[in-house]
Amino acid sequence: MAASVRRLVVELPIPLVVDADALNLLGEDAAQVASLARAARIFTPHPGEMASLCGLPIADITKDRLGHARRLAERSRAVVVLKGARTVVRDTRGNRLHQPDRKSGPGHRWQRRCAHRGHRIPAGAGAAGV
């Protein structure tokens, strides 16, 4: 199974969202595998999956979410969406692609736009699913 996932990530000639068990199967090799990809790749880990990708404890990931997302994006040449209460999005060069919506109240819940109507809704569990 892991070999099939690696082959898809590298060879599929269209953009690909890599999440959940696919990330777990790639593990610490995810950055190297994605750096060989023929098309855009988007990683959408939660902190536990990110810890697996980086070979670090979850506590280390939560202490430096921005830094770990940036480093993985740079190494993998993939967009990284590190999910959580404060979702972090980094482009393929490690640039930050998000800003908190300051109008959303306590906790600065992260927002995403519904493209078809322009409404703002809070990102939450399942929001990364395609």
> How many CA atoms lie within 13 Å of 115's alpha carbon, on the beta-carbon side?
0
Supply the pTM of this predicted model.
Answer: 0.77
pLDDT tens, position by position, for the chain (130 residues)? 999 999 999 999 999 999 999 999 999 999 999 999 999 999 999 999 999 999 999 999 999 999 999 999 999 999 999 999 889 999 998 888 865 555 544 444 444 443 344 444 445 555 544 4
Domain spans, the chain: 2-100
Q: Which CATH superfamily is domain 2-100 in?
A: Ribokinase (3.40.1190.20)
Contacts of 89 (CB under 8 A, 6+ apart): 69, 79, 80, 81, 82, 96, 97, 98
